[in-house]
Amino acid sequence: MIERTGYVPNLLAKGLSENRTNIVAAIVPTISHSIFADVLSGLSDALEVRNHRLLISNSGYCLEREETLLGELLAQRPAGIVLIGQDHTQQTVDMLRRAGVPVVELLEIDKQPVDMCVGFSNYQAVYQLTRGLIARGYRNIGFIAAPFEANDRVRRRHAGYADAMAEAKLRTEPGWHRVAGFSYKEGARAFGELIREHDEVEVVVTNDLLAVAGILECQRHGVRVPDDLAICGFEDMEITAMLHPPLTTVRIRRYEIGRLAGQLILDRLAGAETAQDTIDVGFELIWRQSTR
Amino acid sequence: MIERTGYVPNLLAKGLSENRTNIVAAIVPTISHSIFADVLSGLSDALEVRNHRLLISNSGYCLEREETLLGELLAQRPAGIVLIGQDHTQQTVDMLRRAGVPVVELLEIDKQPVDMCVGFSNYQAVYQLTRGLIARGYRNIGFIAAPFEANDRVRRRHAGYADAMAEAKLRTEPGWHRVAGFSYKEGARAFGELIREHDEVEVVVTNDLLAVAGILECQRHGVRVPDDLAICGFEDMEITAMLHPPLTTVRIRRYEIGRLAGQLILDRLAGAETAQDTIDVGFELIWRQSTR
DNA sequence: TTGTAAGCGTTATCAC
DNA sequence: GTGATAACGCTTACAA
């Protein structure tokens, strides 16, 4: 009958009347990185179950942009808010507090969340990874990272690396640290420079995308992995297992993080008391043949 | 003042009153594939300019799901609708027609669009690619594709391949055709089977992700690319240029397609008459060393 | 049980 | 101009 008459309910009116929508707003640095795309997939699938929709904006790795976007998104009266990381402007935090809806911060859990958070400790992940490398006999350990600004996850990872190195009293040359944008080209450049200028480096800690570029760049230059240079990624992209050699990396459950975030929001909306404000989904060190 | 009092306008009320929102609804097969993530990035960026937001749902490559989702999304009174491909259920098409808002179909342009479309001819792309392969002396040309159901883009690509083969009077064995889900693992499996069972195949036409898996699988088995088996991708993912050998592929401007779609919608909302209902952004054959 | 009216926050209309 | 008022479509509370 409804489909015959072509009647379409108006959720704007419903939302206005009920003072509650079925829209969850998510702000991510970019939609185009597999890590965020996967998180959003999980989030979308979880929300779907209770007929909630996902409104997505990208901040382009800019906290001021995140703040502006949040202000505009709040006008949509979202039923919940999802952000990446735990680093936000004070204004952002204030708005989140006043919003009066569930807020979930994803992919980092080292700070007390504004409301709730789902993720893992980037610090612990790379701290453990670095300790594992040291235990395997590596001494000269380099670090190639995405830009630090507006990216607390990378900053925490670097802190984990630095602390593990300091504890083991290992030196770290400034030249062993590189910043590379999130692209294969940038990765190839950074690895190329490192290989040329610092062949004393035995292993590089970085993220999966840059690590893949690194392995390919090593192949190009005849640098043997892991004998001449070992490489560790971070994320566990599917391709890493198929490379030659397969990549040592840190597995993080991206889809699951998104899914849990959606569930937390739905539970809260259903009136459930939140058992815990922080969900640590952990990480897993995957030792493969790109390290000895 | 506004930021001091904490006033947040209510876009639900505004939308109800004006009978018009700033929300554009997009239904994609999945958010987790680079092709759709990139399209959504471009779309989001374009909409941003006029303060429009993106409501994203994934159909999971199911046209009935797309239909259901569309029905629910229309209740949000979107200012515009974006879909992938030109293959929809009759119900979907009816709803789109009655929606009374701009509709853009993306990534395929061979049919008359419901309203507007932005993309390229998948048929022409693979037709030209296959003719190029034939011109390079290849005769036994295999095809590894994603599942055909609910994916008119892949069906059109296959038609382009089949027509080029038929025109050249080249045989195509059923065993030369494989279906592989969109994952490296599936790609490795499909290529592995093809290498084992049909070593008469000289070149494989597929998509980038499967092609990457194929090149890696060939490396694993000591199959030389392109001498023993040549491989062509489709999409031009960044990594394809860095592989050994670099991958021959079809470049499609994913971000640009999304951006143009956003612009079309905004222009239409601003009252502009649409100059053309179909925008062909074209494609580009990128001949690299994975083919001779 | 069925029906009617008030209210949600904004825009638009129409007096003044 | 400025300011009151109806209207948008739905929910809910209350009256019949």
Q: What is the pLDDT of residue B275?
A: 72
pLDDT score for B193:
96
Instruction: Decide if pLDDT at B3 tops 60.
Output: no
User: What's the DSSP call for residue A179?
Assistant: E
Residue where the block lists tokens 């037709």: B127
Residues in A touching B3 (Cβ below 8 Å): 91
The closest alpha carbon to B105, from B182, B21, B26, belongs to B26
Question: In chain A, which residues have their Cβ closer than 8 Å to the Cβ of B98?
Answer: 6
pLDDT for position A3: 52
Instruction: Give the nearest partner residue to A76 out of B11, B74, B219, using CB atoms.
Output: B11
CB B260 within 8 A of CB B48: no
Mean pLDDT of A162-187: 96
Residue B1, pLDDT score: 41
Average pLDDT over residues B11-16: 96
* Interacting residues of B152 by C-beta distance below 8 A, sequence separation 6+: B85, B86, B87, B108, B122
Nucleotides of D under 7 A from a protein CB: 7-12
Please report which residue ranges of A138-253 form alpha helices under DSSP H: 152-167, 184-197, 208-221
Q: Which two tokens mark B81?
A: 């609708």
CA atoms within 13 A on the CB side of A110: 16
Over pLDDT 70: what percentage of chain B? 98
Residue B250: what are its φ and ψ, rounded to 5°? -110, 120
pLDDT at B21 over 50: yes
Taking only the tens place, the pLDDT of each residue in A252-266 is: 999 999 999 999 999
In the predicted structure, residue B292 carries a pLDDT above the cut 90: yes
pLDDT band at A6, cuts 50/70/90?
A: confident
3-state secondary structure of B244: coil
B13: CB within 7 A of chain C nucleic strand? yes
**Positive or negative CA dihedral for A9, A12, A16, A20?**
positive
What is the rounded average pLDDT of the residues B53-61? 97
Query: Residue B201: pLDDT above 90?
Result: yes
CA B9 / C1′ D1 distance in Å? 25
Model pLDDT, residue A273: 79
Nearest chain B residue (CA) to A45: B58
Q: What is the per-residue pLDDT for A229? A: 98
* Residue A8 Cβ under 7 A from any strand C atom: no
Q: Which of A14, A21, A22, A32 to probe by mutation at the B interface, max B CB count within 10 Å?
A: A32
A145 pLDDT band, cuts 50/70/90, is very high
**pLDDT exceeding 90 applies to what percent of chain A?**
95
**What mean pLDDT do residues B225-244 have?**
97
Q: Where are the beta strands (DSSP E) in chain A?
A: 23-28, 53-58, 80-84, 103-106, 116-119, 141-145, 177-179, 203-205, 230-232, 249-251, 278-280, 284-286
Ordered structural domains, chain A, with CATH: 2-120+253-281 (3.40.50.2300), 122-251 (3.40.50.2300)
Other Cβ atoms within 10 Å of A140 Cβ, number: 16
Residue located via tokens 């610092």? A198
Nearest by CB to A40, which of B31, B55, B239?
A: B31
How does DSSP classify residue A265? H
Question: Which tops the pLDDT comparison, A276 or A18?
Answer: A18
pLDDT reading at A2 higher than 60: no
- Whole-angstrom distance, CA of residue A24 vs CA of residue A38: 17
Q: Name the pLDDT band for B4 (thresholds 50, 70, 90).
A: low
Q: Is the pLDDT of residue B171 over 90?
A: yes
Do A4 and A221 contact (CB within 8 A), yes or no?
A: no
**Cβ-defined contact of A213 to B242 (cutoff 8 Å):** yes
